[in-house]
Chain A
Amino acid sequence: MRSNSLSIGLAVLGVIFLVIGVLYAFGVLQFFVTDPNSPHHYTHLILFVVLAAAAFIAANFTRERAV
């Protein structure tokens, strides 16, 4: 399914994932963490970078192209 609006939505989702990852890494976001006292959560950073990459790939797959 190719649609520019879907592609833009997925790209925005990718950016949101990146921002969440950075917030986890700096310890700003403490949602659902095993140890709330731990200042850095690199596991979450890695996860959200991967999710962001997947969202950008999906955005590239769904964008409309000129034939």
Chain B
Amino acid sequence: MSFWQALFMGLLQGATELFPVSSLGHAVLVPSLLHWSFRQSDPSFVPFLVLLHLGTASALLVLYRDQWVEIGIGFFKAALRGSITTPTERLSMLLLVGTLPAGVLGVYLESRIKSLFSSPYVAATFLIVNGLLMLGFELLRRRAERRAQAANVTQQEREERFADASQISFRAALIVGACQALAFIPGISRSGVTIGGGLLAGLRHEEAARFSFLLATPVILAAGLVEGPLLFSSGVPVGEYVLGAVLAGVAAYASARFLLRYFRSGRLDPYGWYCIAAGLLSLALLTLNL
């Protein structure tokens, strides 16, 4: 991988990790479509991904630094007391419950699923599936809004009728957490399925995005730290990779800020249509070998 390719991949990963468009799908598709010669099965590619993920997780930690301090304190207080008294303590326990299924499934299934689905054709197909999922989540959400008799009000007023992240049930947090495992399939977006799951659990769009980003941080960080020793393997261009990771972090920070603002009144539909269009276009380009 050349210097510029490393920078481009860092920017791409950071920008697409938090948007509901599948960073893994883009990481598989874009190099194939550009006919880049590096192979993602190459052993030196794994440390690169590790650093990119650490860059993204760092951006999320910086973005939510105050909340993470409160969540950490709330977690230990509630765990030692054996009861929940504040919304922050409840949120900390919801995050633990939501992280467990992703951790178990990640350790036991991630590498197997990724090796099964690493073809660009499969990534393009699942990108279309991801788009359909986003549209499906919004369709179900619109039904919930009609049931809540929120049809004839502005989008912001409509959003206020839905819940905060700390108000969802533990069962919903467990299901949303388990949905993260779907993102091991290139083309399926982790943030997309968790935001969609949050919407189905009755969260506001902005809160669903916040819950998704908070839920992502420990999983991405743990994956990065566990694979960390690979960085010290011989032949790894650490300087080049670190620069890619910094770019990934900057892009992830900007994306998260944008998305939190966007979801105050926006929906998942544009990303759903983008995924369908990008998947179809990629399939056409791959088939025609352009």
Contact = CB atoms under 8 A, between A and B. Distances in A.
Interface of A: 32, 34, 42-44, 46-47, 50-51, 54, 57, 60-61, 63, 65
A50 B83 contact: no
A32 B93 CA distance: 28
Interface of B: 79-80, 82-83, 93, 96-97, 100, 103-104, 107-108, 111, 222, 226
B82 A61 contact: yes
B93 to A, nearest CB: 8
A66 to B, nearest CB: 13
Provide the main secondary structure of the chain A interface. Answer: helix
**Interface hub of A32, A47, A51 (most chain B Cβ within 10 A):** A47
A32 B80 contact: no
Contacts of B97: 54
A34 to B, nearest CB: 5
Nearest to A47: B107
Contacts of B83: 61
A51 B226 contact: no
Contact of A50 (B79, B103, B108): B103
25 contacts: A32-B108, A34-B111, A42-B226, A43-B107, A43-B226, A44-B107, A46-B222, A46-B226, A47-B104, A47-B107, A50-B100, A50-B103, A51-B104, A54-B96, A54-B100, A57-B79, A57-B93, A57-B96, A60-B79, A60-B80, A60-B82, A61-B82, A61-B83, A63-B82, A65-B82
B114 to A, nearest CB: 11
Contacts of A63: 82
